Amino acid sequence: QSVLTQPPSVSAAPGQKVTISCSGSSSNIGNNYVSWYQQLPGTAPKLLIYENNKRPSGIPDRFSGSKSGTSATLGITGLQTGDEADYYCGTWDSSLSALAVFGGGTQLTVL
């Protein structure tokens, strides 16, 4: 069972907007930056969002991130069929020592 909680799946039509939630605690999301990763089928994860809401070079502004308290949200607008993937949130947990933690992943289906 993952330390961070994500919905198993979300879906929306092309062109629409979708949000994916990520819930944690004060020892992880509450006191650390959140990052988001996109994993297309059969490929390694790719960094989408870092420091809660920043996008690496090359990531379109259709992808956005936010954080409030012990939860974070990934937003994707203008959905495309190529966005179909698994999305993971991640952060560090400082409860005992520096540990990285991930969510259970959310499968996005673009109907």
- Which residues sit at the interface with another protein, rule CB under 8 A? 2, 33, 35, 37, 44-47, 50-52, 54, 56, 88, 90, 92, 96-105
Based on CB atoms, which residue is closest to another protein, 100 or 111? 100
- β-pairing, 35-39 with 63-68? unpaired
Residue (24 or 105) nearer to another protein, CB: 105
Nearer to another protein, 30 or 45 (CB): 45
Whether residue 65 contacts residue 72, with contact meaning beta carbons closer than 8 Å, is answered with: yes
CB of 13 to another protein, least distance (A): 26
Q: Where are the beta strands (DSSP E) in 2-110?
A: 9-12, 18-23, 35-39, 46-49, 63-68, 71-76, 85-93, 99-102, 106-110
